[in-house]
Every structure is written in structure tokens, then in C-alpha cells.
Amino acid sequence: MITNPTRQRALRGHKATRPTPRAANTADHQAVLAWRLTPRDRWIIRMLHEHRVLTAHQITALAFPSFRSGRMRLRELFQWGVVDRFQPFITAGTAPMHYVLAPAGAAVLAAEDGLDVKELGYRHDRAFSVAHSLRLAHTVGVNEWFAALVAAARATATNTGAGEHAALGAWWSEARCARHFGDLIKPDAYGRWASRGAEIEFFLEYDFGTEVLAKLAGKLAGYAALAEATGITTPVLVWLPTSRREATARRLLHKAWRELDDPRSVPVATAAAELLNPEAAHPSPADAVWLPLDTGTTGAAGGSRRELHRLPDAWPYVPPPATDTEGEPGLGPDSPLLMAPAPAPMPPTQPPRTSRGPDTGQRR
């Protein structure tokens, strides 16, 4: 401004930071990565390919003992071209660093699965496009939902005995669900949670407060069609931001649910994020915040909030999740396995084994 000119000393600040040097994605560099990458690094690569984007806080909470150790390792992976990162703009404060899969990481993943990068379905521009996607907050929110379950499982293992352990046994992304069930329904995620001897598998509908609730209620017809086609009854969990929005959603969901040909084929439960105790050490969707839909439109007519692993008690007609003889989710000889199986929900302490989930018509 001419009335407030910039003084010369104000132009003598620190030089702009130099870009972090990164290795070129060459054959020699990929050969070097063969001895640099640990099993945990390779797990992170698969998680980024599966879930598209994870924040620094989510990755460190899932895979590292401390944020500092995770931040240092992620910086090395970035320098090696294994992961890429970006930082979204927010109006207040500073957003955490967001990580996506980089070309060198995609090359490692494709080589492990005996594929070309093109066959893996990876493109660098598409991987980075999530930075400008209008669904970025939704994708990060779904991933945070599952990261909170993993944190709760770890806290349970630390604070209780062996019989009280909890575990997230499966975590499928929206894209993987769409490849399996997209002709009928496209849930935001599929998961399997076990705690205190009880287990539940579920589809997640994560409402960010922007979707038209009538459209959300209309999805129940698709879930009913999926249950009829597969013969498998899978609960649908609807996560909403506030109790007020949950009450409105429950009225619409209950009306659509009652109009189904067989409402029992689509068990539904709802919860609101604001019901979580902010003073708890590890608040998570595993807490007692779930209310089955068949208790009434608002829950005032009866019933009480349940913990996630206690929801099957509300639906005694729903069989428990089936497993095959090896302890994996039930898969027959004709199961349509994908070329790149979904990664386990936490880094393996032993050599990783294939994680399998709810292939259509083969879970029971």
C-alpha cells in the first residue's frame, strides 16, 4: 500500500524452504527399496491403495507406537517416492498432512501381486485427485471412524485380560464394496468387529450432515435386494453427526424399513457422533451409542443404547458371521477373490497372510 510501504528489513526474512529432495522412480531405486521397506511400510502401501488417503495422525495411530516415530518414517517414505502428501487448506489452525500412494509405492505393490501398475488400477494423477475432491472430508471421516475402532481395540488389549480383547477383523473401502456390490448398493465401508466373545459384521453408512436424508432412507431397498440375492443378512450401521439429525433420520429410515418386503433382512442401527464421551480416553464407535431401528423411530418407546458388539443381541434371527476351516471369513471354492486382497486392519507382527472379506454369496 502506498500509505504503508514495506520496509527494507521486512524483505530480509528467511529464505523459502527448499523442496525436500526425492528419489527418482527408476529400476535401480526400486531395487534399493527391496531392502529398505519393512513389513510395516508395505502394509502402509496397501492401506493407502485400499483407502485412497490417510492422514498422518491416522497412519501413526494405526501403525506406530508414537507420533514422532511415525512422522519420521513417513518423511523417509516420502523422500523415497513411496508415498505422496498434501495439506488441505482450513480456515482455522493447520490441517494434518494427508498421504496418498506414490508411483514407487505402486510399483512395489504391483510387483508383490505379480501385476503391472496399470493392471493394479493405479494412476498418479488419480491418486492425487482426492486432494481436490469434494468427498475428501467424507473419505477421511470414514477412515477416522475405523481408526478409532483400532485405537479402542488396542486400549482394550492393554487394560483388560485376554478374554476381554477386541479386534477389527475386516475393513473394506467404499471402492472395494462398489466392485463387489455396486450393482445393488454402494456402502461407505464394510467391517467386522469382535469383542468379549461376540462378533458383528456390518455395512457402514457414514452421514456427514450433507446428504439428503430421504436419499439415505432410500438405500434400504438396495440392501434388501442384496440380502435377497445373496441369502445373507448383514446389519447396516448409520452414523450421523448429531442427535437431532439422528432423530430425523430414524423417522425416515423407519418408514422406509417398514415398507420393505422383508424388514428383518435389513437390520439397521443408528448412532450420533455427539453421543461419544469427549472425556473418555479412547471414544470410539464401539461405545454404547447404537440404537436398533426396530426399537422405535426415536428410541423413546423402548430399548437403550448398545455397544457395537452387543447389537447382535437385538437381532437374534441374524446368524453370526461365518468362517471357513482356516478361520477366515467364509469363502467357497468359487469365491470371486480380487487380485489384491484387502489388508488387515493393523500391521502384522508375523508374515502377512491374505485377508478376505464378504464376497457376494460366499460368507455363509
My answer on whether 121 and 29 are in the same domain is yes
User: Is the pLDDT assigned to residue 297 strictly greater than 80?
Assistant: no
Q: Tell me the residue type at 61.
A: A
Provide mean pLDDT across the span 150-165: 72
**Residue in 329, 298, 294 with CA at minimum distance from that of residue 314:** 294
Provide CB contacts within 8 A for 256, sequence distance 6+.
Answer: 217, 218, 220, 221
> Among residues 132, 158, 182, which one ends one of the domains?
132
Provide CB contacts within 8 A for 347, sequence distance 6+.
Answer: 39, 40, 43, 62, 63
Q: How far is CA 355 from CA 23, 170, 245, 326, in A?
A: 32, 8, 36, 11
- Band of the pLDDT at 327, cuts 50, 70, 90? very low
Provide mean pLDDT across the span 128-152: 93
Residue 145 domain-assigned (yes or no) = yes
- Band of the pLDDT at 280, cuts 50, 70, 90? confident
* Per-residue pLDDT, 346: 47
Residue 89 domain-assigned (yes or no) = yes
In the chain, % of residues over pLDDT 70: 79
Q: Residue 101: give its domain's CATH number.
A: 1.10.10.10
Return the HEC string of 287-347: CCCEEEHHHCCCCCCCCCCECHHHHHHHCCCCCCCCECCCCCECCCCCCCCCCCCCCCCCC
User: Is the pLDDT assigned to residue 162 strictly greater than 70?
Assistant: no
My answer on whether 98 and 211 are in the same domain is no
My answer on whether 26 and 42 are in the same domain is yes
> Among residues 76, 106, 132, which one ends one of the domains?
132
Residue 64 domain-assigned (yes or no) = yes
Q: CB neighbours (10 Å) of residue 195?
A: 21
* Per-residue pLDDT, 220: 97
My answer on whether 145 and 87 are in the same domain is no
86, 98 in Cβ contact below 8 A? yes
The number of domains in the chain is 2
- Band of the pLDDT at 211, cuts 50, 70, 90? confident
My answer on whether 36 and 121 are in the same domain is yes
Cα separation, 206 vs 203, whole angstroms: 10
My answer on whether 128 and 143 are in the same domain is no
Cα separation, 71 vs 77, whole angstroms: 10
Q: CB neighbours (10 Å) of residue 326?
A: 9
Provide mean pLDDT across the span 86-103: 91
* Per-residue pLDDT, 350: 41
My answer on whether 158 and 260 are in the same domain is yes
- Band of the pLDDT at 358, cuts 50, 70, 90? very low
Provide mean pLDDT across the span 238-246: 96
- Band of the pLDDT at 299, cuts 50, 70, 90? very low
Q: CB neighbours (10 Å) of residue 354?
A: 11
User: Is the pLDDT assigned to residue 147 strictly greater than 80?
Assistant: yes
Residue 325 domain-assigned (yes or no) = no
User: Is the pLDDT assigned to residue 27 strictly greater than 90?
Assistant: no
Q: Which residues pair with 167 in a beta bridge?
A: 194
Provide mean pLDDT across the span 282-308: 79
Cell (9 digits) for 22: 526425492
Provide CB contacts within 8 A for 238, sequence distance 6+.
Answer: 205, 207, 216, 249, 253, 268, 269, 270, 271
Q: Report the DSSP pairing between strands 166-172 and 189-195.
A: antiparallel
My answer on whether 86 and 140 are in the same domain is no
DSSP code string of 228-282: HHH-----EEEEES-HHHHHHHHHHHHHHHHTSS-GGGS-EEEEEGGGS-TTSSS
In the chain, % of residues over pLDDT 90: 60
Q: In what order do the strands lie in the sheet with 236-240?
A: 166-172, 189-195, 198-206, 236-240, 268-272, 291-292
Provide mean pLDDT across the span 222-234: 94
Return the HEC string of 164-213: HCEEEEEEECHHHHHHHHCCCCCCCEEEEEEECCEEEEEEEEECCCCCCH
Mean predicted lDDT score pLDDT of the chain: 83
Enclosing domain of residue 281: 136-314
* Per-residue pLDDT, 173: 94
**Residue in 46, 130, 55, 125 with CA at minimum distance from that of residue 97:** 55
Q: How far is CA 86 from CA 15, 69, 78, 126, 303, in A?
A: 21, 19, 11, 14, 45
Provide mean pLDDT across the span 169-190: 93
Cell (9 digits) for 116: 503391472
My answer on whether 190 and 111 are in the same domain is no
Residue 356 domain-assigned (yes or no) = no
User: Is the pLDDT assigned to residue 332 strictly greater than 90?
Assistant: no
> What angle (nearest 5°) sits at the alpha carbon of residue 285, between those of residues 276 and 140?
100
- Band of the pLDDT at 296, cuts 50, 70, 90? low
My answer on whether 223 and 310 are in the same domain is yes
My answer on whether 187 and 295 are in the same domain is yes
My answer on whether 142 and 128 are in the same domain is no
* Per-residue pLDDT, 257: 96
Provide mean pLDDT across the span 166-187: 92
